[in-house]
Amino acid sequence: MTNQVCYIILETNRTIIVSTVLKLNEMITEELIKPKLNPIPEDKLKVLNYAQDRFFKEGFYKITMDEISKELGMSKSTLYKFFPSKLEMLDEAIFLLISTVKSRVQSSIASDENAVEKFVMVIRVLTATITRFSDKFMSDLQHHAPQIWVKVDETRKKLLYENISKIIIQGQKEDLIKKYPPELIITLITGAIRGVVNPQFLIATRFSYNDAVHYAFKILLSGILTEKGQVIFNKIKL
């Protein structure tokens, strides 16, 4: 058997493995971020929107359920019917945002743009989301709701893996991304984003969320883009 034939077989097997892994991750992600069959009641959505606006800006630890009830003009019995605790309210507010992010990322992936353009579109979605989180919110999340952060991180990992995988495979077909093993590129990118966009790193280094995402992607893309891909990327303003 010639080296060329062996290489073709190896690449074919690798493609099958990557496709299988992508499908499994897609199934897991769908289960974790499955939209509710019934629409969110208007009063409950009102609370979730309030929680997103205020918690993300001011943190959540010092805000009481009594305070939320008074500000929304809602009885405590109604509030507790929707959310037995403030942490459950926080959890749902975060995952409502993740559901929105997922929809926007998938719209970017489904567009007719090339892989580099899609990368930038995903960067913009992530940046717009992350910049909603204040330092106080990230600190509260780290110290007072670490279990929620762990769940968010795992969901984010699967969401990134699933969608960035599609961009990598498209980019290699377009000769915009180097022919490195896709699973390695995907793991490096998702690992880098998870590493820099987390409460401990951001609080310790004082990077802004915007800078953390931009620098991470620029460093990573400079290593995986072909010359053709780099030309396209250099023309785009993040």
User: What is the residue-level pLDDT of the chain in tens, covering all 238 positions?
Assistant: 555 545 455 555 555 555 554 555 554 444 444 444 457 889 999 999 999 999 999 999 999 999 999 999 999 999 999 999 999 999 999 999 999 999 999 999 999 999 999 999 988 888 888 778 888 898 898 899 999 988 888 888 888 888 889 999 999 999 999 999 999 998 888 888 778 777 677 777 777 777 777 788 888 888 999 999 999 999 987 6
Q: Find, among 73, 83, 69, the residue nearest to 41 by Cα.
A: 83
**82 contacts 47 by C-beta, under 8 angstroms:** yes
- Report the C-alpha gap between 222 and 235 in whole angstroms: 14
SS3 label, residue 236: coil
Residue 83 amino acid letter? F
Question: Distance between terminal CA atoms of the chain?
Answer: 48
- What is the domain count for the chain? 1
In a domain, 4, yes or no: no
Residue range of the domain that includes 23: 18-234
In a domain, 6, yes or no: no
| CATH number for position 151 | 1.10.357.10
pTM of the model: 0.73
